[in-house]
Amino acid sequence: MHGVYILKSKKDNSLYTGYSTNVKERVLEHQKGQVYSTRHHRPLEVIYCELYKNRKDAMKREKFFKSGWGRNYIKKILENTLKK
Instruction: Report d(CA 20, CA 33) in Å as an integer.
Output: 17
pLDDT in tens, 21-75: 999 999 999 999 999 999 999 999 999 999 999 999 999 999 999 999 999 999 9
CATH topology of domain 2-77: GIY-YIG endonuclease (3.40.1440)
Write down the domain spans for the chain.
2-77
Query: What are residue 9's DSSP bridge partners?
Result: 44
pLDDT in tens, 3-18: 999 999 999 999 999 9
- 3-state SS class at 8: strand
Q: In the chain, how long is the greatest CA-to-CA distance? A: 35
